[in-house]
Amino acid sequence: MPLYEEFNRAFQALDQERCIGLAHDALATELISIEDLYENVLRKALSVLTDKETDPTHKIWKEHIQSSIVRTIIEMTYPFVLKQRKINLNKRAAIVCPDGEQHELGARMVSDYLRMMGYETYFVGRDTPRLEFLDMIKTLKLDVVAISVTNYYNLSKALQTVVDVKEYFPEVTLVAGGRGLDVNSEVLIKHDVLITHDLSDLKHYLGVNA
C-alpha cells in the first residue's frame, strides 16, 4: 500500500503511534525524503481537513488531534533535516505568522526547508505582534523573514507588518506564502514581497543562488 494511503488511514483513525511510526520508518530507510514526506503525505493529509466556515459538521477536537499528530511528526524529523542539509549559506532566516494567525504547521515545514537550503533558521510561529517583528530582525540580524498567512482575514495585518519592515529594514528579503494569499496577494507584491505558492518557488527565490 502506498505510504500516503496507509498514513491517511491511520490519520483518520487518530492513530498517532501508527502515523509517527510510518513517517519515521520511511525516513530511516530512505524510502522518502523530507520533501516527499511534507509535500506528498503531511500537506496532502492536512489539505482535506475542513473548518467550521465550510462544514457545519466539522469537529474542532478532531482537527486539533490531527494537527498535533502532524506537529509531532515534524518535530521528530529534525535529525533527518540536519542529515539532508547540504550547505551553509551563512544567512539567517525567521519564519513567522502575523498577529492573529493561529495556523503554523505550514510555516513549520518551511522552517525545515530553509534549514536544508543552508539557512540558520528561527521558527517564531503563530500570532506574532506586529512591532515584535522589528525587534526580532534587529536582535537576530536576519537576512530573510518568511511570513505565513493561512487565514485571508489576517492579510491586512501581514500588510501592516510588511510596511513596517520595509521602512526600517529595507535590506531584509521578505517572502510570504499560505492559503490566505490565494486572493489579493498583489497588495504584498507591490511592497516587493516575494510570493511563494509551493516549494519550487521557495527554492527559486531563496536557494543557493539567491
Q: What is the pLDDT of residues 172-188, one digit of tens each?
A: 999 999 989 988 899 99
pLDDT of 86 > 90? The answer is: no
pLDDT of residue 210 exceeding 80: no
> What pLDDT is recorded for position 208?
62
State the cell numbers at 25: 520508518
* Average pLDDT of the chain to the nearest whole number: 92
Per-residue pLDDT at 52: 58
pLDDT for the residue 51: 61
Give percent of the chain above pLDDT 70.
95
Among 20-29, 69-78, 85-94, 162-171, the minimum mean pLDDT is found in: 85-94
Select the more confidently predicted residue: 131 or 141: 141
Q: For residue 83, what is the enclosing H or E element? A: helix 78-84
Q: Which residues contact 141 (CB under 8 A, 6 or more apart)?
A: 92
For residue 1, the model assigns a pLDDT of: 57
As a whole number of angstroms, the distance between CA 115 and CA 93 comes to 9
Q: Read off the pLDDT of each residue in 134-162 and give the average, rounded to a whole number.
A: 94
Q: What is the pLDDT of residue 60?
A: 86
Judged against a pLDDT cut of 90, whether residue 87 lies above it is answered with no
The pLDDT of residue 145 is 97
Question: Three cell numbers at 62?
Answer: 478532531
Q: With a cut of 80, say whether residue 58 has pLDDT above it.
A: no
Q: What is the mean pLDDT of residues 99-109?
A: 92
pLDDT over 60 (residue 165): yes
CA distance 126 to 37: 22
The CA distance from 179 to 163, in Å, is: 21
Question: What percent of the chain lies above the pLDDT cut of 90?
Answer: 78
φ/ψ (deg, to 5) at 98? -70, 170
Per-residue pLDDT at 46: 87
Name the strands in the sheet holding 173-177, side by side, starting at the edge strand that comes first in the sequence: 120-128, 92-98, 144-148, 173-177, 194-196
Contact call for residues 205 and 192 (beta carbons, < 8 A): no
Distance CA 118, CA 143 (A): 13
Q: What is the pTM of this model?
A: 0.90
